[in-house]
């Protein structure tokens, strides 16, 4: 053990240096340094966002990368869709994370079109997954892979299986150029993730037809697994592969093997074989063996595996999307008679690509299409709705070919020929020749069904609009149903419309989304606390007071007064200031309190302002920078951090700009004021002390900036805000302890705590106390940022006081309040169902709301409170975003809209988008999360 501790730093540095400088195969580190420098930043942000919403993301991405590399090499063939593609094979049926790679690919195509391969995205995402789960500091991933063109389910037969003997596992790894140590090391990735009961339940009841369990399973663990996977039970139930630290990347997986707690047979067999057991023991630091550091060895093995049979140079392709849709250029000729009278047929202009196209079609569905000698592509009757057929119709013709509506036209008309060029799988279609005249909108209207009469503008903006409102309201029933089980919060914000009229909106928000209710014109009304309170109370009554838990507004004095008035009327409703607004005020408090921060920010702002206000200077700068300087609006959150961060990013470009002759000539010929300010800008850019201060300030304020981003994101955060605030302060303390401004930390802490006291409410404490993962032993054993020892919520005096106050306000009477206290004790003392191993394991991995829905029957009243509290928002951001929709509808071009009509249009637009989120098309497919900004 002592040997391994002494050697670890040196080993780590040597291996990381090797991974940084050596490129295995033809890949290399920094392949995209010039062609797409932000590639890793973009991928990391996508993976981080996914991991925050779904803790199981790291395991899914690592496993997907493994399965991809073991079938025809690391070429992203696992991502290709199709009836017989790899992803349809049984070993890949439970893979997760496709949508993450697709999101990353979409963003990278926007930033660097046609540059980054899906194979590289998958390799980098797998590395980032390890880091997010607590792995070592970043290792460099060699890149330059290209994407494969072939994906066959039949090629997956040689994937390592869950019941493979050790000798078979060694053989399969050796076939890919990986040795026994690589086998044991990469198997250690099972420290993350879950397995379905169907994959190992045979070990629990009838192992090798013995009518008994696998003797290598620990007896206590056997009982736990049998409770989770009863004989004949649901085989799809998921069980953590690593008991105790399912979402943390560490070496506890090997300790579980030593204790007979390996879930999969292939894993446990590694401890039973002397050769593989030696490597597992070395990861555990067994006395007498040279120790290995699992994190470091895993990085080495991942780089090695990531270069298995890679395609580089001119091999393969760079896909334009992660799904790998077939891409073949062809020309299609259609005549009116063909189009109208031969259902399911496309006529090719020539057969030059006939064979290649037939191969593409055949690889997807051999029986679906046929291509005859006359170059007619025909879909069988049952395949006229085939996805590829529909794709061809929409991409080439923009409408359905061979549909019943088309067949009704006159087939005796003179044939009109067209030639069109299309690329299957591309989003662009080039119309190369049209012999018909372009039709005008009036022509199209004349082709409407006989007898059709377009509605008048009056009818459209009255009767039909009201009908749309009613239809949307009916579709919102699924969302409104969640009000009874999850409760909701009234979120409100003010705005001034295009006619300079003050408006205040109301949204109903919970974990399922934000429903726009209405906006009211406050023209001629003094916005006092009482007036706003009456407005909010009306909204509460329209929903039903029993469903409302909190009211969230901004931090203005009149809003605070309104919140207090609401609390007087409804004892159980809590007013909460917007957490994002409060956190943003901390930046301003810092600037007011610390002259070094204010001066640095002013100097950075001066640089930005000078360039943006002088066109020639800005033009010179743009010649040397791909990024723009940011002029931050006063209402923008974290403006201090954002401005200084961008200035730091473009520092090199700024330095280059002021060293050019064109810059000196421009300043020389400017007026005296321009020369004076320009000289100050030059001196500031050349001042190393300024850049050192910027660097220190960014490090100090980064935790605050990340906290603002967290709070401003989608979804409920009530259960996390309390712990996140403590962690933020600890992170600031860690940074300041080793910087030149360390003496200012007590003042920083005082500012943060003063703002926290104004922001926190009893619901924050209750949400923290009802989050089961904060009682996990592994969590409590780790130190919090700042070196503070973590405490369970029930051991924190301030939290318990907040919980008791919340119970006193939520309960209708003293008996109900006492019952909630007793059930809370059962919960945190882990009595009854809460003592089950499964409940404790799921407390860490499962969403808190889902956890209470699963195990809350032990304390039903407390479970109902928990589901409602944990579903509530902590910011008014949804109400602020709603004004973007409002400004889009009630714009300068539509300034004649009345407020009431604009209100209806916003209601239809916003809530139709909310309803779409409940559909399967929103969750999966090409229109997944269509309304979300990928940035």
Model confidence pLDDT, tens digit, residues 475-510: 888 788 888 788 899 999 998 888 888 999 999 999
> pLDDT tens, 549-607?
999 998 889 999 999 999 999 999 999 999 999 998 998 899 889 999 889 999 999 99
> pLDDT tens, 497-506?
888 889 999 9
- pLDDT recorded at residue 154: 87
Cβ–Cβ under 8 Å, residues 705 and 674: no
CA–CA separation, 217 and 260 (whole Å): 5
Rounded to the nearest 10 degrees, the angle between the axes of helix 721-736 and helix 688-712 is: 170
| Mean pLDDT, residues 513-533 | 89
Phi and psi, residue 97, nearest 5°: 115, 5
| Mean pLDDT, residues 832-854 | 91
Burial class of residue 359, CB neighbours in 10 A (0-12, 13-18, 19+): exposed
Nearest to 258 by CA among 243, 240, 277: 277
Burial class of residue 441, CB neighbours in 10 A (0-12, 13-18, 19+): exposed
pLDDT band (50, 70, 90) for residue 828:
very high
Residue 795: active-site member: no
> Given strand 369-371, what is the order of strands in its sheet?
369-371, 376-379, 345-348, 329-334, 418-423, 430-434
Better-scored residue on pLDDT, 569 or 291: 569
Residue that has been written with the tokens 């909190």 in this structure: 550
- pLDDT recorded at residue 322: 61
Predicted structure pTM score: 0.53
Better-scored residue on pLDDT, 293 or 265: 265
Selecting among 67, 386, 581, 764, the annotated active-site residue is 67
> pLDDT tens, 133-151?
876 656 789 999 999 888 8
Q: Would you state the structure tokens that stand for residue 686, as one six-digit string?
A: 């050349």
Q: Would you state the structure tokens that stand for residue 228, as one six-digit string?
A: 């989770």
3-state SS assignment for residue 518: strand
Nearest to 280 by CA among 262, 255, 259: 255
| End-to-end Cα, the chain, rounded Å | 46
Cβ–Cβ under 8 Å, residues 336 and 413: yes
pLDDT band (50, 70, 90) for residue 236:
confident
Cβ–Cβ under 8 Å, residues 90 and 104: no
CA–CA separation, 82 and 149 (whole Å): 12
Q: Would you state the structure tokens that stand for residue 896, as one six-digit string?
A: 């004649």
H helices present in 384-456, as ranges? 387-392, 441-446
Kind of pairing, strands 329-334 and 369-371?
A: unpaired
pLDDT value at 435 more than 50: no
- CA 384, 385, 386, 390 dihedral sign is positive
Phi and psi, residue 275, nearest 5°: -65, -50
**Beta carbons within 10 angstroms of residue 449's beta carbon:** 5
Cβ–Cβ under 8 Å, residues 294 and 4: no
Q: Within 13 Å of residue 860, how many CA atoms lie on the same side as its CB? A: 1
> pLDDT tens, 777-822?
999 999 999 888 999 999 999 999 999 999 999 988 888 899 999 9
Please tell me the total number of residues recorded for the chain in this structure. 935
Q: Which helix (H) or strand (E) holds 345?
A: strand 345-348
Torsion of CA 79, 83, 84, 86, to 10 degrees: 20
Strands (E), 194-313: 194-196, 238-240
Q: Would you state the structure tokens that stand for residue 882, as one six-digit string?
A: 């709603």
**Beta carbons within 10 angstroms of residue 180's beta carbon:** 18
- pLDDT recorded at residue 804: 95
**Beta carbons within 10 angstroms of residue 727's beta carbon:** 19
pLDDT value at 472 more than 90: no
H helices present in 417-491, as ranges? 441-446, 457-461, 463-475, 477-486
pLDDT value at 3 more than 50: no
Cβ–Cβ under 8 Å, residues 377 and 351: no
Burial class of residue 792, CB neighbours in 10 A (0-12, 13-18, 19+): middle
CA–CA separation, 831 and 858 (whole Å): 9
- CA 539, 545, 547, 553 dihedral sign is positive
- CA 824, 826, 832, 834 dihedral sign is positive
Q: Within 13 Å of residue 178, how many CA atoms lie on the same side as its CB? A: 29
Q: Within 13 Å of residue 602, how many CA atoms lie on the same side as its CB? A: 9
- pLDDT recorded at residue 547: 85
pLDDT value at 318 more than 60: yes
pLDDT value at 285 more than 80: no
Cβ–Cβ under 8 Å, residues 264 and 229: no
Rg (alpha carbons) of the chain, rounded to whole number: 31
- Going from the C-alpha of 636 to that of each of 507, 543, 560, 928, the distances in angstroms are 22, 32, 22, 29
- CA 169, 174, 177, 181 dihedral sign is positive
H helices present in 112-140, as ranges? 118-132
**DSSP category for residue 143:** B
Nearest to 844 by CA among 248, 256, 263, 94: 248
Report how far Cα 411 is from the mean position of its chain's Cα atoms.
Answer: 52
CA–CA separation, 737 and 106 (whole Å): 41
- pLDDT recorded at residue 634: 54
> pLDDT tens, 881-918?
888 888 888 877 777 778 888 888 989 888 888 888 77
Nearest to 435 by CA among 419, 413, 414, 421: 419
Give the percent of the chain with pLDDT over 90.
35
Average pLDDT across the chain, whole number: 80
- pLDDT recorded at residue 525: 85
| Mean pLDDT, residues 268-281 | 89
pLDDT band (50, 70, 90) for residue 932:
low
pLDDT value at 363 more than 60: no
- pLDDT recorded at residue 836: 92
Better-scored residue on pLDDT, 64 or 630: 64
- pLDDT recorded at residue 369: 52
pLDDT value at 341 more than 80: no
Question: To 5 degrees, how large is the angle CA 422–CA 426–CA 432?
Answer: 25
3-state SS assignment for residue 672: helix
Kind of pairing, strands 488-496 and 502-510?
A: antiparallel
């Amino acid at each position: 053990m002592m040997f391994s501790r002494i050697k670890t730093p040196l080993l780590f540095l040597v291996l990381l240096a090797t991974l940084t400088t050596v490129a295995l195969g033809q890949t290399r580190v920094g392949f995209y340094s010039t062609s797409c420098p932000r590639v890793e930043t973009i991928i990391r942000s996508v993976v981080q966002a996914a991991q925050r919403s779904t803790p199981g993301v790291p395991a899914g991405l690592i496993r997907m990368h493994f399965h991809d590399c073991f079938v025809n090499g690391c070429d992203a063939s696992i991502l290709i869709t199709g009836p017989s593609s790899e992803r349809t094979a049984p070993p890949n049926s439970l893979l997760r994370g496709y949508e993450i790679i697709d999101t990353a690919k979409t963003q990278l195509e926007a930033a660097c079109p046609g540059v980054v391969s899906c194979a590289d995205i998958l390799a980098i995402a797998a590395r980032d997954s390890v880091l997010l789960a607590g792995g070592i500091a970043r290792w460099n991933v060699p890149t330059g892979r290209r994407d494969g063109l072939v994906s066959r389910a039949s090629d997956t037969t040689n994937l390592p299986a869950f019941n493979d003997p050790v000798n078979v596992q060694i053989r399969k790894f050796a076939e890919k150029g990986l040795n026994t140590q690589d086998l044991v090391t990469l198997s250690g990735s099972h420290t993350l993730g879950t397995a379905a009961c169907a994959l190992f339940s045979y070990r629990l009841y009838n192992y090798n037809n013995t009518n008994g369990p696998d003797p290598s399973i620990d007896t206590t663990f056997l009982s736990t697994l049998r409770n989770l996977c009863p004989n004949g039970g649901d085989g799809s139930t998921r069980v953590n592969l690593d008991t105790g630290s399912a979402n943390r990347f560490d070496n506890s997986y090997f300790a579980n093997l030593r204790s007979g707690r390996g879930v999969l047979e292939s894993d446990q067999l590694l401890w039973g074989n002397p050769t593989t057991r030696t490597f597992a023991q070395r990861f555990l630091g067994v006395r007498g063996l040279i120790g290995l550091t699992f994190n470091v060895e895993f990085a080495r093995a991942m780089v090695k595996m990531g270069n298995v049979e890679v395609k580089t140079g001119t091999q393969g392709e760079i896909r334009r999307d992660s799904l790998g849709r077939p891409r073949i250029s062809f020309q299609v000729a259609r005549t009116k008679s063909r189009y109208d009278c031969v259902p399911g047929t496309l006529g090719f202009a020539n057969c030059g690509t006939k064979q290649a196209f037939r191969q593409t079609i055949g690889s997807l569905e051999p029986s679906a299409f046929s291509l005859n000698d006359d170059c007619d592509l025909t879909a069988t009757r049952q395949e006229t709705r085939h996805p590829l057929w529909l794709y061809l119709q929409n991409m080439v013709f923009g409408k359905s070919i061979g549909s019943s509506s088309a067949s009704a036209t006159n087939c005796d008309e003179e044939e009109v020929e067209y030639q069109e060029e299309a690329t299957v799988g591309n989003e662009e279609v080039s119309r190369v020749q049209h012999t018909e005249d372009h039709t005008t909108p009036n022509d199209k209207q004349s082709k409407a069904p006989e007898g059709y009469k377009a509605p008048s503008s009056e009818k459209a903006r009255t009767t039909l609009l009201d009908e749309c409102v009613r239809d949307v309201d009916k579709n919102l029933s699924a969302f409104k149903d969640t009000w009874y089980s999850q409760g909701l919060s009234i979120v409100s914000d003010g705005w001034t419309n295009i006619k300079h009229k003050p408006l205040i909106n109301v949204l109903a928000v919970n974990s399922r989304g934000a429903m726009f209710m209405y906006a009211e014109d406050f023209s001629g009304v003094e916005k006092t606390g009482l007036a706003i309170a009456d407005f909010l109370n009306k909204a509460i009554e329209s929903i039903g007071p029993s469903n409302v838990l909190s009211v969230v507004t901004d931090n203005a004095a009149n809003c605070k007064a309104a919140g207090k008035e609401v609390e007087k009327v409804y004892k159980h409703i809590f007013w909460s200031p917007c957490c994002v607004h409060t956190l943003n005020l901390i930046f301003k408090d810092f600037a007011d309190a610390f002259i070094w921060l204010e001066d640095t920010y002013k100097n950075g702002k001066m640089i930005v302002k000078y360039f943006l206000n002088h066109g020639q200077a800005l033009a010179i700068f743009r010649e040397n920078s791909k990024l723009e300087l940011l002029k931050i609006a006063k209402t923008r959150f974290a403006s201090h951090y954002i401005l200084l961060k961008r200035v730091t990013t473009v520092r090199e470009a700024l330095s280059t700009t002021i060293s050019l002759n064109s810059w000196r000539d421009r300043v020389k010929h400017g007026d005296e004021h321009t020369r004076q300010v320009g000289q100050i800008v030059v001196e500031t850019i050349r001042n190393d002390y300024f850049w050192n201060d910027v660097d220190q300030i960014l490090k100090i304020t980064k935790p605050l900036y990340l906290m603002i981003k967290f709070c401003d994101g989608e979804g409920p955060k009530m259960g996390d805000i309390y712990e996140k605030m403590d962690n933020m302060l600890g992170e600031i303390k860690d940074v300041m302890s080793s910087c030149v401004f360390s003496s200012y930390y007590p003042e920083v802490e005082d500012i943060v705590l003063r703002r926290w006291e104004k922001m926190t409410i009893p619901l924050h404490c209750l949400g923290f106390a009802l989050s089961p993962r904060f009682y996990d032993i592994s969590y409590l054993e780790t130190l919090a940022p700042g070196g503070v020892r973590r405490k369970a919520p029930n051991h924190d005096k301030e939290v318990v006081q907040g919980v008791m106050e919340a119970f006193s306000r939520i309960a209708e009477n003293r008996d109900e309040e006492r019952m909630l206290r007793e059930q809370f004790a059962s919960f945190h003392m882990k009595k009854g169902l809460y003592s089950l191993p499964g409940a404790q394991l799921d407390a860490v991995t499962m969403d808190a709301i889902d956890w209470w829905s699963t195990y809350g029957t032990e304390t039903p009243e407390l479970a109902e409170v928990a589901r409602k509290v944990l579903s509530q928002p902590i910011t008014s951001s949804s109400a602020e975003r709603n004004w973007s929709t409002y400004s889009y509808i009630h714009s300068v071009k539509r300034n004649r809209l009345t407020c009431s009509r604009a209100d209806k249009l916003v209601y239809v637009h916003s809530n139709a988008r909310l309803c779409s989120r409940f559909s399967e098309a929103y969750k999966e497919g090409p229109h997944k999360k269509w309304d979300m900004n990928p940035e």
